[in-house]
Amino acid sequence: MKPVKPTRGQLERQLSQSIQAFYREQLGHQPSKVTCQLFDTKIAIILEDSVTPTEQILNKEGQRELAQQVRSSLDEATRPPLKKLIEEVIGTKILDLLCDATVDTGRTGIIAILADTPDTRPSEKLSKVEPGA
């Protein structure tokens, strides 16, 4: 029996949960919310409260530039394993992974450019639309 393909929403939720766990394990800090939106061969990911306590302290103490440098270094260090994680969850290769964070707002934005559209099935709501509706 073949495994059931996930819907787009299920894949987005699974990716959100996996990224939240990744940040908790890798940085010891879990974003409060991770939102993923799949657009065919692109994924937009927004992490809320992604800035670590260390970066927050630096920023609060007037060391904004140092806090941004720390964030940039963390993003660079976590990029390869994050790319691998996303590829494993969505089942397709990433051609480009763009990341940026704002220390002031605590948000991180990630855009993944995919080689192929992930293999998903239609959601139940879409597949049960009656003709003429």
Give the mean pLDDT of 18-31. 94
47-105 residue pLDDT tens: 999 999 999 999 999 999 999 999 999 989 999 999 999 999 999 999 999 999 999 99
- Residue range 120-128: mean pLDDT, rounded: 69
Domains annotated on the chain, with CATH:
8-116 (3.30.980)
- Tell me: pLDDT of 130 over 60: no
Q: What is the pLDDT of residues 37-50, one digit of tens each?
A: 999 999 999 999 99
pLDDT at 133 over 60: no
Residues 6+ apart with CB under 8 A from 10: 120
Residue with tokens 């976590």: 78
pLDDT digits 0-9 by tens, 86-96: 999 999 999 99
What is the β-pairing status of strands 33-39 and 42-48?
Answer: antiparallel
H-type helices in the chain, by residue range?
8-27, 53-60, 64-90, 124-127
14 with 118: CB under 8 angstroms? Answer: no
> Is 99 buried (19+), middle (13-18) or exposed (0-12) by CB count in 10 A?
buried
The answer to whether the predicted template modeling score (pTM) of the entire model surpasses 0.95 is no
Q: What is the mean pLDDT of residues 106-122?
A: 94
List the Cα angle 3/89/4 in 5-degree steps: 15
User: What is the predicted pLDDT for the residue at 123?
Assistant: 75
Above 70 in pLDDT, residue 125? no
